[in-house]
Structure 1
């Protein structure tokens, strides 16, 4: 019995070491750490740990022990939740949707501002816990009631669950603002990454709703607003920058949209885009619409592969407005509330943010733009994570607070 246990233990140790060395070598060779990122060693360590976790998740999924997304989220619980004595935190459920309410402890004689928050994570990462510190900070620093929405995730839940969960939770909150001591004229919607995309979608979905309080402003932190054009300069420049490599991003998009991964290459090359669609919408999706400083002469312009009808039929829901808020009608865009957009120089979604900024401005929507030269995708989730935090994480949080307090 003892020799068998020793053999199993040795085999397990060798396997763990082998997997770790393989992931370390792969990330050392492929991960791109731009010079502008502060603490490059720290980000390499975090990048290695993230990909090691994802790799073990895939192994456990193959062995039918646990799905990759569930394992990743289990490991993400190692992030520190900081208790703030100035904020009361309450876990609730709006029907089947878990939400977390952050309320300042200090007494007030008048209703407070309200913030709806949708976390990021590409439906693989992300939870109420992982964005707890940021939401607590927003509640305290802006003296606001913050509602964080814990929408359902992969692998069990696919499109359009994230959108419907966020929309339903938002409507529930807006109908009960007095219960939470919130001023109906001072509600802000805020989201990061896919959560930022949810902000865009929900703001559009609520246009014309006279039965609900109007959202005062929208805060979109490096949002994803389309999954159509993957040839923008930021996709080319930052395709291997942590923490959102291009391959992982398109894999998450395919899994959420229930698109077979065999169509990834067609999506990357634009083979699924009908010529008529591109002719109509390139005015909003093409890199020609980006500020000149973000269009390097060395970058290849969009060159769509020959149209593949089979690829289009398998991926055609990427052209729905519910998955690409940037292509919404002008009449809808023009009625949106003022916006605060955050972009990061070393983020694969940088150009999504810039294109949506222009889209809003072209329709007369007031936009405040905050660009972080040292920023990278995912820096928001690292806010107030002690050794794992970065200067750009703090700058981002402070900029959002400053904007919200100023409206």
Structure 2
């Protein structure tokens, strides 16, 4: 009993100590660009995120709880913002949990369908967290929205996320009539890793002619390559909230089961064989990024000394099912019209720009919206009242406007 009381008494001191340590680290490493609005607000939000991630890592090292589960537990405590004008139905397509949202107001004809994949690095994010966003999409565009609750870390790794998204989408596409959806107006939409899933699933669906064709794909701040981490946005925004290079790399290694000890080799390009770089440089190089996005003094895009062991650890990232930017020209040319969203202060900004050029080179109609004061993750803050940002509504309004034009 005495030991228990000792632990309980020491817990507040431990939590305060961790908070102080995180605060110091946060102050020393986090970069808030001067053009970002409400910098103090963003600094606070990011500091709290780092704090809970640090606590999760401590719990994981103590073998009490996996860090992703700790984050998911805290996320589950947050309230859900519900729209009284939107009907919400929880379903399962096989073992995959999905959530169907549609306006309560009756429609005399089939509605547009939106299949939505949420973000969160395969670690956080959920149907609950993205419900308010998808409710807004459903009501503002008069659409039926299908949210896919794919399985995540720590229990599930690649390719479970993609398989869940693809299988749920195929089931939905086969049964559009029962959901009141017009088969000629189906849109795939996703944010962050959800945008990555949209790119891969849309490419896969082009090979299934028996299904209704996807009308458009919407990729919001997507990741489309796991190979080149020397792009300008990686140099400029590596310490910018809410997605820093360290957090992105941690999610990537956990999801793809890559030993994090290879971090330096991956980031410096030492894991890239020269022959593969020569073959794919035309798609991966920052030569494809408009010069206005380059740094004033850009670092040269030079590969580090080749490390074969690092390549063997990461060679699966050269598959188009992981890096959709590398899909062959024939597959790219068959893709539907595309809406790409990028944020200026996002480490993944240049992935969207590379994919934009890749699609345009193959004649795919592309619309692009760039949020000059945006940062990764701002999308979800649109309804957080005192923690919202102007860029959040700019982004959402651009997506809504595009969907309504379809």
**TM norm structure 2:** 0.98
Offset at residue 6 of structure 1 (A): 5.0
1:73 and 2:72 matched: yes
1:366-405, Cα deviation, whole Å (9 max, x unpaired): 0110000110001112221222221111111111000000
Aligned equivalent of 1:300 = 299
- Give distance in 2, aligned partners of 1:27 and 1:197: 28
Equivalent pairs, count: 406
Aligned equivalent of 1:316 = 315
Offset at residue 280 of structure 1 (A): 0.8
Aligned equivalent of 2:391 = 392
Matched residue of 2:68: which SS? helix
Root-mean-square deviation (Å): 1.1
Aligned equivalent of 1:246 = 245
1:221-261, Cα deviation, whole Å (9 max, x unpaired): 01000010000000000000001111111121111111111
Matched residue of 1:36: which SS? coil
Aligned equivalent of 1:357 = 356
Aligned equivalent of 1:336 = 335
* C-alpha contact 1:251 1:264 (8 A) present in aligned 2: no
Offset at residue 364 of structure 1 (A): 0.4
Unaligned runs of 5+ in 1: none
Aligned equivalent of 2:53 = 54
Matched residue of 1:84: which SS? coil
- Give distance in 2, aligned partners of 1:33 and 1:296: 16
- Give distance in 1, aligned partners of 2:89 and 2:313: 42
1:208 and 2:214 matched: no
1:71-125, Cα deviation, whole Å (9 max, x unpaired): 1111123444211111000111111111111011001110000000000111111
Aligned equivalent of 2:143 = 144
* C-alpha contact 1:133 1:383 (8 A) present in aligned 2: no
Matched residue of 1:373: which SS? strand
1:234-292, Cα deviation, whole Å (9 max, x unpaired): 00000000011111111211111111111111100111111011001111100111111
Aligned equivalent of 2:22 = 23
Aligned equivalent of 2:182 = 183
Aligned equivalent of 1:122 = 121
Unaligned runs of 5+ in 2: none
Aligned equivalent of 2:39 = 40
1:273 and 2:272 matched: yes
* C-alpha contact 1:57 1:68 (8 A) present in aligned 2: yes
1:7 and 2:10 matched: no
Offset at residue 10 of structure 1 (A): 2.6
1:234 and 2:233 matched: yes
Aligned equivalent of 2:104 = 105
- Give distance in 2, aligned partners of 1:196 and 1:58: 27
The 10-residue stretch of structure 1 (135-144 or 250-259) with the greater mean CA deviation from structure 2: 250-259
**TM norm structure 1:** 0.98
* C-alpha contact 1:42 1:388 (8 A) present in aligned 2: yes
Matched residue of 2:182: which SS? strand
- Give distance in 1, aligned partners of 2:278 and 2:93: 43
1:19-64, Cα deviation, whole Å (9 max, x unpaired): 0100111101111111121111111111011011101111111122
- Give distance in 1, aligned partners of 2:222 and 2:322: 12
Offset at residue 5 of structure 1 (A): 5.6
